[in-house]
Structure 1
C-alpha cells in the first residue's frame, strides 16, 4: 500500500500542489475526535484518489489582470497625495476635482 499511496501523492505534486496542500487535504478529511479509523491506509487512499486541478498563474499573459470594478478607470494626471483613479467620460486626463479646482 505504501507504493500506491506514494503514487497518489505524486499525482498531486505533479498537478502543481505542494506537500503542504496534500497534508492539509488529508487533515481536513479525517473524522472527528473519538471516531475510530479501522483502515487508515484506505482512508488516505480514498482522500487522495481525486486530484483537484490547480490553476497556476501564467507567466506569459496578455497583461496584468484588473478587477471588473476597476475596469475603465484611469489615473488622474493632476497633483494628488496618492494616485487618484477616476472613470473618464471621454478622453480627459484629470478627475472632476482637478478640473473644477485646478492647482494655482
Structure 2
C-alpha cells in the first residue's frame, strides 16, 4: 500500500515533483525531506525513508524527522499518512 500511495502522490503532483525528486542527493533511513507540492493542493510534500518500517524505532525516527521539518519551515497544517502497524504507539508520543 505504501508504494501505491507514493506513486499516486508523484502522479498527482506532476513533473515538477519528479524533477525535484531526482535532485535530492540522499536521505538516511529514518530521515525525511521536503519538496514542493506542485500540482497538489498543498505547498509541500514530506517524504520519509524508513527501510520498510521494520520496527517502531524506525517509524518514530521518520515521523520525528517530518515534524522537525514542519517546525523548521513554519508549516501550519500537515497530513501524515499512517500505513504501518506501529503508528498507534508512535504518533501520540511524538505529538
The interval holding the TM-score normalised by the smaller chain is: under 0.3
Compute the TM-score of the two structures, normalised by the length of structure 2.
0.25
TM-score, structure 1 as length reference: 0.24
RCO comparison, higher one (Cα < 8 Å, 6+) = 2
Larger strand proportion of the pair = 2
More helix by proportion, 1 or 2?
A: 2
Structure index of larger Rg: 1
